[in-house]
A and B are shown apart, each in its own frame.
Chain A
Amino acid sequence: MTTIPRSYVRALTRIRCSIFQTTFNPSSQRTGAKYLRAPLRGPAMVQYYPKPEAFSVTKLNKIYPGWNLVDIDEVVRLNDVESKKKRGKGAPKKAKTPAESRRARKKR
C-alpha cells in the first residue's frame, strides 16, 4: 500500500474547492459564516400567536364614544367579582408599605 503525501492531499483539496466554489479552510478556522448563512428566525417567531381581534367591543367604544355597546363577557366578569367580594372572596388589599407585603412575610 502506498501512502499519499499530505501536501498532495492538501493541494487536491485546494483545487477541489476552487472547482466547486467552496471555501478552502485547511486549519478549520471558525469564520462565523454560519451566523450569516442561517435563515432568520424572527419572522416565523412573530407569527406564533393568533392575531388579536381587529374589532372588539372595547375598541369600537373607544372609536365611537356615543355607541356605548355592552360587552357581555365583561359584564359577567364584573358581576362575578362583585359576588365574590360579597362573600369575602375578593382580591386581597394592596400593601401600602413594603413591611406589610406578602413577600416580606414569606422571607421570615
Chain B
Amino acid sequence: MPKLAKNIRVLRDIKARQGVQDNEIVRRAYLYVARNQSLPPQVRYQAQLQLNTFGRYTRPTTVKNRCTESGRGRGIMSEFGLCRFQFRLKALKGELVGVRKASW
C-alpha cells in the first residue's frame, strides 16, 4: 500500500485539523458571546477581539480535504477522499468496494 504523500501542504493541513480540534470548544464559546444580540455590545466586541487573536490554523475554514493517497488538493471525490486519478487507479484495481467501470 502506498504511503500518504507527505508534502508540506498535507502537513499543513494536518496541523490545521489538529488546531481546529484543540481550539474548537473555546472558539465556540467566544462565538456564542460575540453573536448573541442579547448581551451588551461591549462584551460582544471583546469576544470578537478574542476570536481574532486565535491563530490561522484554528479556523475550520483553513482545513481542506486533500487526496489521502497523493496529497493532491484538486479534483477530490469526497466520498472516497481520493483525487480523480488515484480514484481511477484504485477502482481499476478493485480496491473500492462497489465501484465498477461503466460499460454499455
Check B65–A48 contact: CB distance below 8 A: yes
Q: How many residues of B contact A (CB 8 A)?
A: 26
A100 within 8 A of B: no
B84 within 8 A of A: no
Inter-chain contacts of B24 with A (CB < 8 A): 40-42
Check B21–A46 contact: CB distance below 8 A: yes
Inter-chain contacts of A46 with B (CB < 8 A): 17-18, 21
By DSSP majority rule, is chain B's interface helix, strand, loop, or mixed? helix
B37 within 8 A of A: yes
By DSSP majority rule, is chain A's interface helix, strand, loop, or mixed? loop
A63 within 8 A of B: no
In the A-B complex, the 8 residue pairs with the closest CB atoms: A42-B21, A32-B36, A32-B35, A32-B32, A35-B31, A42-B24, A45-B17, A35-B32
* A-B pairs with beta carbons under 8 Å apart, 22 shown: A30-B35, A31-B36, A31-B37, A31-B38, A32-B32, A32-B35, A32-B37, A35-B28, A41-B24, A42-B17, A42-B21, A42-B22, A43-B21, A45-B60, A45-B63, A46-B18, A48-B65, A48-B81, A49-B13, A49-B68, A50-B4, A50-B68
